[in-house]
Amino acid sequence: MKQDKLIALALLMVAFSAVSGLALITVFIFKEGLPIIVKTGPGNFFLSSDWDPSSGNFGIFSMIAGSLAVTVCAMVIGTVFGLGLAIVLGEFCPPGLAAILKPVVELLAGIPSVVYGFVGVVTIVPLIRTYLGGPGLSVLASSIVLGIMVLPTVTSISMDALRAVPRSYWQGSIALGATKWQTTHMVMLKAAKSGIAAAIILGMGRAVGETMAVIMVAGNTLEVPHGILDPVRTLTSNIALEMGYASGQHREALFATGVTLFVIIMILNTVALVMARRGAGEGRTR
Amino acid sequence: MDFKIQTQDLNLTYGKFHALKDVQIQIKPQSITAIIGPSGCGKSTLLRCFNRMNELIKGVHITGRIHLDGKDIHSPDVDLTILRRRVGMVFQKPNPFPLSVFDNVTYGLRVHGVRRRSELEEAVESSLRATWLWDDVKDKLWGPALALSAEQQQRLCISRVVAVRPEVLLMDEPCSALDPIATGHIEDLMRSLADRYTIVIVTHNMQQAARVASECAFMLLGELVEFGPTIRIFENPKDKRTEDYVSGHYG
Ligand SMILES: Nc1ncnc2c1ncn2[C@@H]1O[C@H](COP(=O)(O)OP(=O)(O)OP(=O)(O)O)[C@@H](O)[C@H]1O
Ligand SMILES: [Mg+2]
């Protein structure tokens, strides 16, 4: 009995220190980043594209636009292929093959992002430069690399969502004369929609936060992109590129960039969580 | 007389397991035929043969013939989607799709390419009326089907099948998830549907078989032991095993 209490206490302390560590990091980022936002004025900080630390101009709009452009395009690619793969693996290919392929896809998540970036630089970037024009380092290149990187997340979670749909729906549909494909898009995808939405949003969180691979293929110029062949700089890249030599206000502005990212990702994760909860709730009604 | 469904030397194996053994059954049109027998004797398996749902299970092997209106349902020119439209199925556990009531009823029609709004609306009303559900749900057509009661859900599943104008209704223990009152309602419904459809019902409940079915088949360990008018099966069984079962000697 006494031992149980001791163990419980020890575990509580471990949990507490982990949580308080996270809390401290959060407080630290906000403490370092918020003052400069207030000083520059949120309007200037978020809506101006003039980022020139040496003359004290800190506007991150071009990077917000860059992150947005890259993330949206990456999610289009990641969703089309990731969800497609989930459907094929979950509904159409023999279960034995799916049992092998799913872990393989999940393994892709374990490859370090610098490797993705490197592969992007040596294959995708030159291909874009040769066949589509522009510098090659671009929104498109980053989106393709990120799209592949989020594939495991999107595929794996959507597959789980599809698998959690009661088999009786599938049988009911087939028994009415529906083909497998009709059953998939008219019943299964609808029944799994909140889980799939959660998959996409979690993938999106990964895409927004990814840094290394994007730095390698995005070009990192400080301009609002006008097309998918233009180079961009994302919020994450900005921090990673300049942190090494930044000091004073410049350093604070980078923390403020971090705050912006933090808030974006918190929002995405919360939405994903709510979606997943709602999905689980729907499953429970019989 | 012409039978609606007729099987000849029907054998089915799940891998090595012999689940149906030389089953010969003749099902009369516009009547209710009950299949009874202890758990695991192959009732559901036999039922799934009639709309070829067994083919979705891995390792199933079927030999022998099944005729629907005198035509072999395994012949290569049979279109499976059309077969399953002609031979509809209602499951043990109500399984409405997580869609609206309207979308559930029109599902089969949409699957078969019907898009005209007026046609879909008509089908919804007439199918829901046929299953006596219309008055209960006419104000909730766009509400979620999963919000209905278990009995209403099962009736919705029957409406969903009725909407595609089938000829045969296969029902696999359609009342086993329902309370006795709801069961009574579904049984009344079955009797009212029997003048338009050929109904084959699997049931564990012998009183239910006696109440609704004009013909009754008793199965044991994959064999069709005895088949005939319900009254005769219950009152004057020819086979000792049937007698034991209907007099309650088996589970
Ligand atoms: N997919 C399957 N794979 C292997 N064996 C199966 C499969 N489905 C059923 N069986 C076996 O076939 C036999 C008949 O099964 P079936 O479901 O047709 O019985 P049933 O008479 O409907 O039983 P119950 O009254 O419990 O529903 C059982 O012994 C069962 O174990
Ligand atoms: Mg059964």
**A29 found inside a domain:** no
Q: What is the pLDDT of residue B243?
A: 86
The model's pTM is: 0.84
Kindly state the percentage of chain A with pLDDT values over 70: 97
What's CA B121's distance to the chain center, in Å?
A: 25
**A59 found inside a domain:** no
Q: What is the pLDDT of residue B109?
A: 94
Minimum-distance CB partner of A182 among B111, B146, B150? B111
Give the B window 33-72 contacts with A, CB below 8 Å: 51, 53, 56
Q: What is the pLDDT of residue A283?
A: 44
**A23 found inside a domain:** no
Nearest residue (CA) to ligand 1, atom 1: B57
**Cα separation, B97 vs B103, whole angstroms:** 9
Ligand 1 close to Cβ of residue B2 (< 6 A): no
Indicate the pLDDT class of residue A129, thresholds 50, 70 and 90. Answer: very high
Is A171's CB within 8 Å of B146's CB? no
**A61 found inside a domain:** no
Q: Count structural domains, chain A.
A: 1
Pocket test for ligand 1, best of B13, B45, B57 (most atoms within 8 A of CB): B45
**A18 found inside a domain:** no
pLDDT of B250 above 80: no
| A110, A176 contact by CB (below 8 A) | no
Q: What is the 3-state composition of chain A as percent helix, strand, coil, each rounded to the nearest 5? A: 80, 0, 15
- What is the CATH classification number for the domain harbouring A157? 1.10.3720.10
Q: A23 phi and psi, to 5 degrees?
A: -60, -40
Side chain identity at residue B151, one-letter code: E
Q: List, in sequence order, every beta strand (DSSP E) within chain A.
A: 51-52, 57-58
Instruction: HSE, CB side, 13 Å, CA atoms: give it for residue B220.
Output: 14
Beta bridge partners of residue B60, listed in sequence order: B14
Place of tokens 């599902």: B107
Residues written for chain A: 286
pLDDT tens for B174-233 read: 998 888 988 998 999 899 999 999 999 999 888 899 999 999 999 999 999 999 999 999
Give the ligand at the shortest distance from the Cα of B43. Answer: 1
Taken in order A127, A129, A133, A138, the sign of the CA dihedral is: positive
Side chain identity at residue B16, one-letter code: K
Indicate the pLDDT class of residue A142, thresholds 50, 70 and 90. Answer: very high
**A39 found inside a domain:** no
Burial code (b: 16+ CB inside 10 Å, e: under 16) for A85-114 equals: bbbbbbbeeeeeebeeebeebeebeeeebe
**Cα separation, A200 vs A76, whole angstroms:** 10
Give the structural domain span for A221. Answer: 66-285
| B5, B27 contact by CB (below 8 A) | yes
Distances (CA, A) of B179 to B66, B184, B245: 35, 9, 24
Radius of gyration, alpha carbons of chain B: 18
The pair of three-digit structure tokens given for residue A95, joined into one six-digit string: 């279960």
| Ligand 1 centroid from CA B8, angstroms | 21
Mutation site for B-interface testing, chosen from A93, A170, A176 by largest number of B Cβ within 10 Å: A176
Average pLDDT of B68-84? 91
| Ligand 2 centroid from CA B174, angstroms | 11
Q: What is the pLDDT of residue A280?
A: 59
**A27 found inside a domain:** no
What's CA A193's distance to the chain center, in Å?
A: 19
**A38 found inside a domain:** no
Give the ligand at the shortest distance from the Cα of B45. Answer: 1
